[in-house]
Amino acid sequence: MKTILTSVILLLLSLSSCADNDENSFIQYKMDGNGGGCGSFIVYKQTSNNLYAISLEANADSLDLSEEYKTFDLSENKLNVRFYEFDNPVYSYFCDDVMENFETVKKEYQIKTGSCDIMYYEKHSSIHDSINNKVTTDIIPTIFIKFIKLEFENDKNEIVKIEDFNMDSIYIGWLPG
């Protein structure tokens, strides 16, 4: 009887420790690859192996951004933030008019919790046109983003957690060309 009671207690303790330790219930990635931006307000950052990425899409006019950081709670759904897992490494998935056949999404996750700080400024770039002998100035919308403690979930209740990372000097909008 004592052996059975000891076994039951050990089983209960092991089950309770599994509930407290969610190390196996999420995947964590380091966003250390390339990033970029395009369109009205689309930014992305990939892992160094190009198999995983985060994207942020928003209506730039509704965000009221300035040259000072503004904080957004990502659980409020004002920004569309997603995490992607791809079948193969991707190089032009987010800002290309033509998708490659091998650039397919294996899993997609929606933001659950986290925040980000966004700063916006307009970079002025002067270009000398030697044919017409004139200088034109273009305005390049540029943003800086600090992501803080992101957690994503997909439709199978799989969790992805990503620690803090920055996206610096990301150009958005289409450059004249």
pLDDT in tens, 63-103: 888 899 999 999 987 899 999 999 989 887 887 665 555 67
The pLDDT score that the predictor gives to residue 16 is 29
- Top-confidence range, 75-84, 119-128, 131-140: 75-84
Residues forming beta bridges with residue 138, ordered by sequence position: 125
SS3 content of the chain, % helix, strand, coil (to 5): 15, 50, 35
Q: Answer whether 118's CB lies under 8 Å from 134's CB.
A: no
With vertex at residue 170, the alpha carbon angle to CA 165 and CA 172, rounded to the nearest 5 degrees, is 135
pLDDT value at 115 more than 90: yes
Residue type for 103, please? Answer: E
Domains of the chain, by residue range, sit at 27-171
Q: Is the pLDDT of residue 134 over 80?
A: yes
The whole-number average pLDDT for the span 19-42 is: 59
